[in-house]
Structure 1
Amino acid sequence: MTWIILIIAGIMEIVWAVGMKHSDGFTKLLPSVWTILAMAISVWLLSVAMKSLPLGLAYAVWTGIGAAGTAVVGMLFLGEPREFSRILCIMLIVAGIVGLKLFARP
């Protein structure tokens, strides 16, 4: 269950990053409120996951999901470049996340 909570926290990090883009520097009310709410949920879920997972592991997975997921959303929905080098780097982030999960001690 802890890993599911951490994954949801990472997804909420993607949500707030995309929301921040749409908030236009926090000048648009609805996207700004959505962003702040998603930030709070993301950090709260991370803190819940950290009750059972080591700090470095939880934080690395959380930021990795956020970084890779935000880059993918940018490429798929925001017209950001889809160069091979970017995709390769995202794959390396994902490989790191999977590696952290595989080698984590219970």
Structure 2
Amino acid sequence: MSWIYLVVAGLFEVAFTSCIGKVKETTGSEMYWWLTGFLVSMSISMFLLIKATQTLPIGTAYAVWTGIGAVGTVLAGILIFKEPATVWRLVFIMTLIGSIIGLKVVSH
């Protein structure tokens, strides 16, 4: 169950970083809605990370959480914010995904 908490926490990390991107692009009441999304997503992400670290090693949990967030944020940047999808960006994202899977495999 801890791994599920951790994956969902990582997805909420992607949500709060995406909200940050939208906050900087908007003004007025729309900005406040994105800011609210940021605060809610961050709170949920942190809560689930804490739940996951009750049984998983903190180093592994934190590395996987940030890895999911990093991969998801780069993909969101490419798909939502129209950032460039260069070959090298994709190669290094795949390397990061391999590292996350490796941590899961070697963790007890």
TM-score (norm 1): 0.95
1:98 to 96, 101, 106: 101
CA distance in 2, matches of 1:63, 1:52: 18
CA contact (8 A) 1:16 1:34 kept: yes
Q: CA deviation at 1:76?
A: 1.4
TM-score (norm 2): 0.93
Q: CA deviation at 1:78?
A: 1.2
1:5 and 2:8 correspond: no
Pairs aligned (count)? 105
2:65 to 47, 54, 62: 62
CA distance in 2, matches of 1:99, 1:58: 13
Q: Corresponding residue for 1:81?
A: 84
| Long gaps (5+) in structure 1 | none
Percent sequence identity over matched residues?
Answer: 38
Q: Corresponding residue for 2:56?
A: 53
| Long gaps (5+) in structure 2 | none
Q: CA deviation at 1:23?
A: 1.0
Backbone CA RMSD of aligned residues: 1.4
CA contact (8 A) 1:68 1:90 kept: yes
Q: CA deviation at 1:77?
A: 1.8
Runs of 4+ in 1 over 4 A off after TM superposition: none
1:14-53 CA-to-partner distances (Å, cap 9, x unmatched) read 0000001111289610000000110010011000000000
CA contact (8 A) 1:9 1:43 kept: yes
CA distance in 2, matches of 1:16, 1:41: 10
